[in-house]
Structure 1
Amino acid sequence: MSTEDRTERAPRVLKAPKQDRSRATRKRLLEAAVACLAEHGWAGSTVSVVAEHAGVSRGAAQHHFPTREDLFTAAVEYVAEQRSTALRDLFPDGPADRRAVVRALVDLYTGPLFRAALHLWVAASNEDQLRPQVTELEARVGRETHHMAVELLGADESRPGVRETVQGLLDMARGLGLANLLTDDGTRRERVVAQWGEILEGVLTD
């Protein structure tokens, strides 16, 4: 068999397009940044630590995110998008049982994803380079979450007190998320969630 024949019959090794590999690397870095921030906090989450956790070189990490601030702001934005997607996936048909929506909104503010965001907020309060990016991001995420809550609850914000009640729900959920950082007080949280379900039914029902 000629060399040419062997070459023609040799199996081809298909490589993922460069753009796909780049997206996959970026996603690994974002997920690693979230995990590191939740586990080690801001001080322990350097670009090198994140790159090692993601299984890529520091140079590859800096190619995607030139600065540490860029990496972690993008990571928390990624988390916010994932949380929003997860919430919408729970209620694909739009407005749902209000008690179920309250519980799902509270779940947005508990667990490692919220913990990672909180570490970033604390860091932004002390880091001048980070603060504007995080402030802008949180304002946008807050607006989007509020809009999503209004939609899923079937709330009419033209009625007196409705907007404030929905915002109060989100503030309450955030507060429960903060409390959950220190101790898992699930029993008390269940009672608070149930009470807010009753409050919303009273305010939002015609």
Structure 2
Amino acid sequence: MASTVRVPQEERTRAMRARLLEATVELLIERGYAGTTTTLVSERAGVSRGAQLHHFPTKAALVVAAVEHLTQVRGDELARAAADVPRGVRRTRAVLEMLADHFTSPVFTAALELWVAARTDPELLAAVAPLEQRVGREVHRLTVELLGVDESQPGRRELIQATLDLARGLGLANTISDDRRRRSRILDQWAITLADALAEPTPGASA
């Protein structure tokens, strides 16, 4: 008779939490925040309501944990994508494409649902705001590093912030309809504008 292999409790708990988080993200993308209920999450994850409530006592705790989980996964993917960004004349355009991919990903759609809901939900806002600040700082840091920008020079930080705001705006537009063709034209032009602006000498610098 084959022996039964017992899965350690810690491993079972980790797997159950992962199913809950993945189910939550799927529902946020499919149904939005209002349509994502703890009952639907437990059903999709195949987890009992009691077990779900033990780990995530409120809907806010569950959805924030889910987006944080996916943000970490996406952050790892972003870091890997950054390592593959080519050098040379096409580097600026490649960095913009990487950012556009990030802001049109499922994690952005899920996060957007939380931003809208958090506007009128103090508990959710208290949890979401620090997460978004952390993510924003990391994406900003990575962009500066990839483009080799010296933010101590006047106007450079604002150029990076404008670039990230542009990428977020394009991501928002993409939630309404497939915006790839228009987005590509905009990124082509912004790559030229940004590269030229970053190449300009700092005012007052010696020639």
Asked if Structure 1 and Structure 2 have the same fold, meaning a TM-score greater than 0.5 normalized by the shorter chain, the answer is: yes
The CA distance in 1 between the partners of 2:73 and 2:121, in whole Å, is 26
Q: Which residue of 1 aligns with 2:11?
A: 20
1:16-55 to structure 2, matched below 5 A, reads 16-55=7-46
1:74 corresponds in structure 2 to 65
In the TM superposition, residue 98 of structure 1 has moved relative to its aligned partner by 2.2
> Counterpart in 2 of 1:87?
78
2:86 and 2:94 in contact (8 A); partners too: no
**Preserved CA contact (<8 Å) 2:67 2:110:** yes
Summarize the Cα distance change of 1:12–1:180 in structure 2 as closer, same or farther, 3 Å threshold. Answer: same
Q: Deviations over 1:23-73 (max 9, x none)?
A: 111111111111101111111111111111111111121122111111111
User: Which stretch shows the higher mean deviation, 88-97 or 60-69?
Assistant: 88-97
What's the CA shift for 1:94?
7.8
- Which residue number corresponds to residue 99 of structure 2? 105
The answer to whether the Cα contact below 8 Å between 1:115 and 1:181 also exists between their aligned partners in 2 is yes
How far did residue 194 of structure 1 move? Answer: 1.1
Q: State TM-score, norm by structure 2.
A: 0.88
- Alignment-derived partner of residue 174 in structure 1: 168
On the 8 A contact 2:85/2:95 being kept in 1, the answer is no
Deviations 1:135-178 (A, max 9, x none): 12111111111111112222221222111111111100110111
- Corresponding residue number in structure 2 for 1:192: 186
Task: Give the greater-gyration-radius structure (CA).
Answer: 1
Moved over 6 A (4+): none
How far apart are the structure 2 equivalents of 1:196 and 1:55? Answer: 46
Two-structure CA RMSD over aligned residues (Å): 1.8
Unaligned regions of 5+ residues in structure 2, if any? 201-207
Greater displacement, 167-176 / 91-100: 91-100
Percent sequence identity is 50
Partner amino acid, structure 2, of 1:146: H
Contact 1:95 1:152 in 2 (8 A): no
- 2:5 and 2:194 mapped to 1: Cα distance? 55
Q: Which has the higher contact order (CA 8 A, sep 6+)?
A: 1
Separation in 2 of the partners of 1:102 and 1:121? 23
Q: Establish whether residue 58 from structure 1 lines up as the match of residue 52 from structure 2.
A: no
The count of aligned residue pairs is 197
